Amino acid sequence: MLDKLKRWNTKKENITTPSKEDVLSRPVPKHIAIIMDGNGRWANKRALPRIAGHHEGMKVVRKITRVANELGVQVLTLYAFSTENWKRPKQEVEYLMKLPEEFLGTFLPELVEQNVRVQMMGNHNEIPIHTRNAVERAIEETKDNTGLILNFALNYGSRDEITKAIKQIASDVKAGQISETDIDDQLVSQYLMTRKIKDPDLLIRTSGEYRLSNFMLWQLAYTEFWFTDILWPDFSESELLEAIDEFQKRNRRYGGV
Ligand code: FPP
């Protein structure tokens, strides 16, 4: 375990980045989920306001989406705003709520050209109307695309998602639509926001933090984790390839031997 932690922490220059061809010669994770952390620290280091870090982080979203799509990844889920992020200063929250608009306003034509399909999971109703409109327009415009699903977790919290699922299951049992004996893990999965997508194969978290921060707690049960000290605005194709290369060396046993 300690060896693994050391490896996760190893600075980039000590690792040889695998080539795209190497990575493509082995099975690529179908669903990659990323906790994009470290925007604020990236900005602080440069004596810039925190929002400058978020803006730089948005540019990385563009690059990583393109590479993931080229690698044949089927779903890329990005933690863009959590149900806890409302606690941040008002100005930062407002900026974070403008970012999807800016991102999609600038890059939607590119996403369409790349055959990317935009989706969102989270509580739609509580986000500002301008943010919701931008995301819903992108979802509509890309709904027939067959390439990478770019799934933004926006105003998303896993405990909130699971709580809502439990309430809905209880209500459906009460209404006689399902019976208590129907409840198993597959049924629960069908009540979550990810009902149409497979669980992540690989979770990446940047910035040297080793926690899940209320992200996809149910869906990550058998996911492989990869952590890096790199701050999200510095994350690049090389780190994505390293993460996938490491994933390809893991032996997934799903509780078996
Ligand atoms: C965490 O870093 C990051 C966020 C809460 C926001 C992530 C958002 C982006 C990367 C841009 C999203 C782009 C689109 C297109 C929606 P932090 O602010 O907690 O960093 P810190 O821990 O260093 O302070």
Q: Looking at residue 119, what is its pLDDT?
A: 98
**pLDDT average, residue stretch 76-85:** 98
Ligand 1 and 58: CB distance under 6 A: yes
Name the β-bridge partners of 227. 205
| Number of domains present in the structure of the chain | 2
pTM greater than 0.85 (yes/no): yes
- Considering the domain architecture, whether residues 58 and 162 belong to the same structural domain is answered as no
Report d(CA 242, CA 245) in Å as an integer: 5
Residue 79: inside a domain: yes
Domain coverage including residue 113 = 27-156+201-212+221-250
**pLDDT average, residue stretch 127-146:** 97
Ligand 1 and 54: CB distance under 6 A: yes
- Considering the domain architecture, whether residues 42 and 60 belong to the same structural domain is answered as yes
The pick from 42, 45, 54 for probing ligand 1's pocket by mutation, whose C-beta has the most ligand atoms within 8 angstroms, reads 54
Q: Whose CA is nearest to atom 5 of ligand 1?
A: 81
Residue 9: inside a domain: no
Answer yes or no: is pLDDT of 4 > 60.
no
For residues 189 and 196, is the Cβ–Cβ distance under 8 A?
A: no
Q: Report how far apart, in Å, the C-alpha atoms of 83 and of each of 50, 54, 66, 72, 128 are.
A: 19, 17, 27, 30, 14
- Considering the domain architecture, whether residues 128 and 229 belong to the same structural domain is answered as yes
Which atom of ligand 1 is the closest one to the Cα of 232? 10
Mean pLDDT of the chain, nearest integer: 94
Percent share of the chain, pLDDT over 90: 91
pLDDT-based confidence at residue 254 (cuts at 50, 70, 90): confident
- Considering the domain architecture, whether residues 165 and 69 belong to the same structural domain is answered as no
Answer yes or no: 85 catalytic.
yes
* pLDDT tens-digit readout, 173-190: 999 999 999 999 999 999
- Considering the domain architecture, whether residues 39 and 58 belong to the same structural domain is answered as yes
Q: Looking at residue 13, what is its pLDDT?
A: 55
- Considering the domain architecture, whether residues 100 and 60 belong to the same structural domain is answered as yes
Sheet holding 224-227, edge to edge: 117-121, 149-156, 75-82, 31-35, 202-205, 224-227
Judge whether 40 is annotated as a binding position.
yes
Backbone angles phi, psi at 203, to 5 degrees: -110, 130
Q: Looking at residue 1, what is its pLDDT?
A: 45
Q: Looking at residue 106, which CATH number applies to its domain?
A: 3.40.1180.10
CA 93 to chain centre: 19
Residue 233: inside a domain: yes
Ligand 1 and 122: CB distance under 6 A: no
- Considering the domain architecture, whether residues 73 and 144 belong to the same structural domain is answered as yes
* pLDDT tens-digit readout, 29-50: 999 999 999 999 999 999 999 9
Answer yes or no: 37 catalytic.
yes
Report d(CA 73, CA 10) in Å as an integer: 25
Which atom of ligand 1 is the closest one to the Cα of 209? 22
